[in-house]
Structure 1
Amino acid sequence: MITPAQLRAARALLGIDQRQLAELAGLSVPTVQRMEASSSGVIRGNVDSLMKLVAALDAAGIELIGDGMPSAGGGRGVRLRSPQPPSTPGQSDPARAGPQ
C-alpha cells in the first residue's frame, strides 16, 4: 500500500511535518511517527488509520505509486499531481493537445 519512505517523501513534497500530517489525517502524532518508523518496508498499522492517512495524502494532491503502476521512472515513489485548470467550453487546452 504505502512505504515509510513514500510517506516521508509525500510530506516533503507537501512541505509539512508529522504534526501537520497527523492533523490532516485525523491521527495522533505518535501514530504518524510509528508509521514512518516501520522497518518492514510497508507501513503496518490499523486499517482505519492507514485509510485516513492515504485519504489525507490524496486530498492534498499526492499520488502514491506502487510496484507495477505506470510511472516514468518505474518502481515505487510519490508524485504530486498538478491541479487541473477548469476548462472553458469551446476553448482547447494546449497542454492536453497531442503531437502536431
Structure 2
Amino acid sequence: MISPGQIRAARSIIGVKQSDLAKASGISLATLNNIERGVGDPRASTLDAIESALQDAGVEIEASALTESVRLNILARPKAYETLSASQKLLQLLSPGSLNRPDKILIFARRDRNAEHDDSAIKICFLVEAKNRNILFDQVNFSVENGSRVAEIAGIMQAAFAFHRYEMFFLDSIVEDTTANEDLDALECVSGRDCIALDHPAKFFNVFSNWQDMLRTYGSRAGHPLANLAALINKFELD
C-alpha cells in the first residue's frame, strides 16, 4: 500500500500539485492533504485510487519491509494495443486533467513492412512528450484504411487541437518501420528529426493521403469525428 512519503515523492518527481493528483484520483483535496500529513486512517480503496493515478502517470512504486521507493518511467511504449484501447489512453493523456501534461505532441506516419496491402501499409503514430517522460505510440494499428480507424484518429486529433493547439507538430515525410527497434532507438529515430508546427490536419494527412478526399468520404457523415475535427479547425480559422 502506498505511503504518505511515497505520495509526496511521486508528486515531486512528476511536478504536480495536490489539487491535480486529488482530481486525477477522484478524491477531495482535503482528503489527499490529510493522507500526505499522516492524518486519519484512509480507506484502502482511496490509497489504491491514488496509486493507480500515479502509475498511470508513469510512477513506479515499490515497498518492502525495510525500504520504500518511487521512480519515474521516463519512456513508455505501449505494446500491441488495440486501437480502441490506445485511443482511450491517448485521450486520457491529452485531457486537461492528465498528470502528464504534454509539452509537445508529434504526429507522424510510418511504413508497415508486414502489411499485405498498400492501403494498410501506412500507420499513424503519436509521440507525447511530457515534462519528464515520453509516451510513444508507434505499435498501434492506426491507419486511414476504413471509417472506424479514421474516426479514432480524428477523435484523438480533435482532442489534441482542442487542448494543445500550440504544442502540435508533425513530420513531413514517412518514417521507415520503427517497430523492430528497441525503445530508445525508436524514440531517437523519431524525436531526432526536424518537425513542423501543425496548425491544420491537412498538412499531416497530405503527406501520405489526401485530406479533401477523406473529407468527402467521411467528413460528410453527421457526427463523424472527422467532420467534428474539420468544424473545429474552421472555427479556429474564423476566430
Q: TM-score, normalised by structure 1?
A: 0.72
Rounded Cα–Cα distance in structure 2 between residues aligned with 1:44 and 1:81: 30
Among 83, 86, 89, the residue aligned to 2:75: 83
Structure 1 residues without counterparts, runs of 5 or longer = 69-73
TM-score, normalised with respect to structure 2: 0.33
Identity across matched positions, percent: 30
Q: Aligned match of 1:59 in 28, 32, 56?
A: 56
Structure 1 runs, 4 residues or longer, greater than 6 Å off: none
1:11 paired residue number: 11
Q: What secondary structure is seen at the aligned counterpart in 2 of 1:35?
A: helix
How far apart, in 1, do the equivalents of 2:9 and 2:44 lie?
Answer: 21
1:24 aligns with 2:24: yes
Q: Partners in 1 of 2:27 and 2:21 — Cα distance?
A: 8
Aligned length: 87
Higher strand share: 2
Question: Which fold has the larger relative contact order, with Cα–Cα distance below 8 Å and residues 6 or more apart in sequence?
Answer: 1
Q: CA RMSD in A?
A: 2.5
Specify the code of the residue in structure 1 equivalent to 2:182: D
Specify every segment of 5 or more residues in structure 2 that has no aligned partner in the other structure, as ranges.
78-137, 140-177, 186-239
